[in-house]
Each structure stands twice: as C-alpha cells, then as structure tokens.
C-alpha cells in the first residue's frame, strides 16, 4: 500500500469489471460499455477507437494493433499480430539503387500498410458482443463534436509540432494557425469522423478497398511511397502462438516475433539469475542489474528478431535457460558493460495500451500504435488519417534477418502482456513507450514479484532505461543513486519525458476482486465497479 503522505494514486478496486487506459475519455467509454452489458473486447475496441481521436500523436487508425485475450479468465490465451507489411514493390535493392541505406523515421518507405482496422474487425468478429458501429460511435462523437485536450496530450502534441509543419496535410489536420492545441482546448477532426462512419457502416472493406483505400494510396504515392491498392487489400492480422517464460512463480506471455516481446522475456530470464531480495527497488544495484539485462537482451533483439514468415528466428534458443546463463557471464556486477556486447553474441515510439477485464473473466491486453509521435508525419487530410512509420524498424542489409522485403513485417515494438498462474489469468498488463517497452515489462513485474508492490505502486515507481550506451534516469531517482551508477561507468542522462506508460489489472483469484492501476505519467484513469 502506498504512503499517503507522498503524491500518488491508490489502487482502483472492483468486482464486476475494470478498465485502465492512458486517457480519461477512453476509460469512461470503456467502463460505460461494461456497465451496459458489453464485454471486455467491446470495451477495448471502443476505448482504443476513442484514443485514436483524442491522442492522435500516440495512436490512430493509420497504425497497428496487437492483442492478447483470455476469453474465460484462464490460461487458454489468444494472440493476434495486427501489424502491417511492407508494400510488394519495396525491396532492399530498390532502396540501395536509390542511395538509401537506412529508412528514416519520416521516409515514405517507413509507412507499412496500417494493420489496426483489420485487427479490430478480426477481434470483434471472434470475441465481441456488440455491433461494431455501436463501438465506434463514441469515437465518432469525439471526432465530430469535439473533445477536450488533456495536459500530457497537449505537451506531446507540442513536442511534435515541427514534424507536423513539414507535411501540409498533417498541419491541416493537427494544427490551427500553425500551432498545437493547449490543455483545455476543444478539438475536432471531422474528416476522421467521416472515415470512422464509413468503417462503422461497411466494416474492414471501407478502409482497405475502394475509394478510401485508393485515396490513401495516392497520398502515399505522392509522398514517394510504393504502395498499391492491392497492398491494402491484402492486409491481414495473424493469429499467433504465444511465447512465455516463468518469472516470479508466474508464467509471463508475449506475442512472438515480429514483435519484441521476446526481448522482455529474455530480460526476465537474465534477471531471475540474481537474488533481488534485500535490494533497494530504487537503488543503484537494482538499476545496474536491470541495465545490464537490457543491454544484452536488446543486442540479441537487434541481431535475431524479424518476421518469422520471412526469416529464421531462433525463438527456442533465445528463450532457453542456457542462453540467459551465457549472457549473464558478460555481466560484471558493479561495472557498466560494453555497449557493443564484447562478444556476447559474436557480433528505438509512441503507443497507447489499455487493459480490460469484465464480470465473466474475459481479459483483453490491447495495444495500438503509430510508433513515433504522429508516425511518419505523412497524412491524408481528406481521410483524417496519419500514417505510422513502422518500416523504420527494418534494416537495409540483405544479410540481416530484419532486412526490408516485399510483404514483410518489420521488427515491431508494441507488446501487450499477460500473466497466468495455476491455470488462471492473474495480470493483464502492458507498458507503452517504443523501444522502452521490454524494460518496462521487466521493471513493473519485478516491482510486483521481487519487491511486493501493488499494481499502482509498481507502475508509479521510478524508471531507468539503458538505451544505446546511455542510462536515462527519471528525475525522481536520487542524485546519490545516479552518482553510484556513474561511478560504475554509466553515462547518465535525463529523458526528455518520463519513460513509457503502464496499465495493469490484477485478478485476485482467491477473492475475485479486480485491482486496477494506471499511469500517473499520462492522463488516464483506472476505473472499476
């Protein structure tokens, strides 16, 4: 339980349903759907659609979606990879011939086919109980009649202003007189409202086929992309077999590659080789061990993780106890390791995550993303859509498993999570934040299993992120701890904004009580009844 003398939030408790999102607008919509008889998937889709309107720099229908579902509250889980693929005309040879050896974050080649709408309709068909049009109605209302911009959203919007100014259609959609909206501003996106109305009426085909798809393809082509209408028409989310590891006496489940969930599991496998008992959860040694685990797990990610339909990804090896033990031999306790790996292998974001559990036990771990703020910055103002930049996750190296190729998915950062124990679902959770997400997953679960925190304490605890040789530490970590880590050899910096954002719902299997926590670094709420 938290110290009530310190700033923070309390756990939200309920018996019949709980929601946790990074948007107050979305949380209210999700809870109202649960209370009116909808199930967890109904609430998740509706909440995500709302966030695609009210948090346009974080997510949108021009992005991708992953989900893990426990239909009955047990360990029989369903996973969906709703990420898009590169257009069929995009090849490494084409890029190299054009003098492009790296796909930049704002390149038209960074736009893969948006997978979100296909994923939503697939999830709706299999798990939802309400009409799809009814689930999109709250988002349509926000887009058409306006919503109030919240504080964190206004800051994130402002930070992306320069990107929006670089694209005339993006500026038309998301700026007014060249400026971003401040907190408390009422904002509308009538073009997006009309697109959502078409999707509500016609379903998936309204987005991926016909007039709307042709218009979006023309917009992308005008920007220099190689998409064709057939690329949109072929979009299809994939049902996947989840991967897992044991951590803290629980089974932690993730979407397999092309996602980076395997990185989180590898971090956990490395960390469970150390005795965390007695460590200060905000002390130097804890952050040191976590940084070293991240250093090595991310090196493995960048070497091996790719689209398994197009490359050989050694999942079994990466999740083996032997591989984790091997990586631990490259950790010297008390000293920062070599950022290049020193032979360990012989050889970075914007997102919304939401968690929903209903009265019948269905749990939905749901994440939807544009990758970086406002994605590629390329927009279709008539459709109200801005496109993600997931293709920047490719490399342009024909010998690398993650090399760009036609119809291929790039290494993907968004990772919903779910935890089970003894045949029951216990924790439905996720952590936003681009490349930070695997660290966030390991950090939050370690806070619970190693340090006994409740869900809200685990989310609010200070965070650090070892990223490309630099240890980025939030300002809530003491100067003394930062100095200890600097003395170990780390380069210490402060992140521009706090790391990531988490949501979690814990199901107490003994009492049936739902315990929900939400991210204090964002604008959202956990609600329950």
Catalytic residues: 351
DSSP 8-state secondary structure symbol assigned to residue 461: S
Task: Look at the block and give the residue holding tokens 């934040």.
Answer: 433
What is the side-by-side order of every strand in the sheet holding 243-247? 12-14, 514-518, 501-507, 424-432, 416-421, 250-254, 243-247
Tokens found for residue 128? 């939802």
- Best CA proximity match to 524, nearest among 116, 107, 12: 12
Q: Contact 461/3 with Cβ under 8 angstroms?
A: no
Dihedral sign of CA atoms 302, 303, 305, 309 in order? positive
**At 501, is the secondary structure helix, strand, or coil?**
strand
Please tell me the distance from the alpha carbon of residue 49 to that of residue 363, in angstroms, as a whole number. Answer: 18
DSSP 8-state secondary structure symbol assigned to residue 109: G
Tokens found for residue 48? 């995500």
Dihedral sign of CA atoms 316, 301, 446, 10 in order? negative
Q: Contact 277/267 with Cβ under 8 angstroms?
A: no
Task: Look at the block and give the residue holding tokens 């605890």.
Answer: 461
Q: Where are the alpha helices (DSSP H) in 370-514?
A: 437-449, 455-460, 479-487
Tokens found for residue 465? 């992120």
Please tell me the distance from the alpha carbon of residue 420 to that of residue 430, in angstroms, as a whole number. Answer: 14
């Amino acid at each position: 339980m938290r110290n009530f003398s310190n700033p923070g939030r309390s756990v939200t408790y309920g018996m019949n349903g709980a929601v946790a999102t990074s948007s107050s607008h979305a949380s209210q919509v999700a809870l109202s759907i649960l209370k009116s008889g909808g199930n967890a998937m109904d609430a998740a889709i509706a909440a995500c659609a709302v966030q695609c309107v009210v948090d346009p720099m974080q997510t949108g229908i021009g992005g991708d979606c992953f989900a893990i579902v426990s239909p009955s509250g047990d360990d029989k889980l369903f996973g969906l990879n709703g990420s898009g693929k590169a257009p069929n005309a995009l090849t490494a040879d084409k890029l190299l011939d054009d003098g492009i050896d790296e796909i930049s974050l704002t390149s038209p080649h960074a736009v893969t086919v948006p997978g979100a709408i296909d994923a939503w309709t697939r999830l709706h068909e299999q798990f939802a109980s309400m009409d799809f049009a009814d689930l999109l109605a709250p988002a349509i209302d926000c887009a058409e009649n306006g919503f109030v911009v919240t504080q964190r959203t206004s800051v994130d919007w402002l930070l992306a202003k320069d990107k929006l100014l670089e694209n005339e259609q993006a500026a038309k959609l998301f700026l007014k007189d060249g400026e971003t909206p401040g907190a408390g501003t009422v904002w509308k996106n009538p073009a997006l409202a009309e697109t959502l109305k078409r999707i509500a009426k016609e379903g998936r085909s309204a987005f991926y086929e016909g007039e709307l798809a042709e218009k979006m393809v023309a917009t992308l082509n005008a920007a220099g992309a190689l998409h064709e209408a057939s690329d949109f028409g072929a979009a299809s989310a994939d049902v996947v077999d989840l991967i897992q590891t044991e951590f803290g006496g629980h089974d932690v489940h993730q979407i397999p590659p092309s996602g980076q969930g395997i990185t989180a599991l590898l971090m956990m496998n490395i960390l469970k080789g150390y005795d965390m008992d007695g460590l200060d959860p905000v002390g130097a040694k804890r952050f040191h061990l976590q940084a070293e685990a991240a250093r090595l797990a991310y090196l493995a990610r960048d070497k091996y993780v790719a689209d398994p339909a197009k490359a050989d990804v050694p999942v079994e090896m990466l999740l083996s106890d032997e591989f984790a033990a091997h990586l631990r031999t490259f950790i010297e306790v008390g000293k920062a390791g070599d950022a290049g790996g020193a032979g360990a292998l012989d050889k970075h974001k914007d997102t919304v995550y939401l968690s929903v559990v209903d009265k019948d036990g269905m749990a939905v771990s749901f994440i939807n993303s544009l990758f970086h703020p406002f994605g590629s910055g390329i927009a279709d103002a008539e459709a109200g859509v801005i496109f993600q930049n997931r293709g920047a996750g490719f490399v342009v190296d024909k010998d690398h498993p993650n090399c760009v190729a036609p119809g291929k998915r790039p290494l993907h950062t968004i990772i919903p999570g779910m935890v089970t124990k003894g045949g029951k679902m216990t924790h439905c959770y996720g952590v936003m934040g681009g490349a930070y997400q695997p660290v966030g997953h390991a950090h939050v679960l370690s806070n619970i299993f190693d340090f006994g925190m409740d869900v809200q304490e685990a989310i609010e605890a200070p965070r650090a992120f070892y990223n490309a040789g630099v240890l980025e530490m939030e300002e809530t970590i003491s100067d003394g701890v930062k100095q200890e880590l600097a003395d170990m050899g780390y380069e210490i910096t402060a992140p521009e904004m706090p790391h990531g954002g988490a949501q979690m719902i814990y199901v107490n299997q003994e009492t049936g009580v739902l315990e929900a926590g939400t991210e204090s670094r964002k604008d959202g709420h956990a609600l329950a009844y």
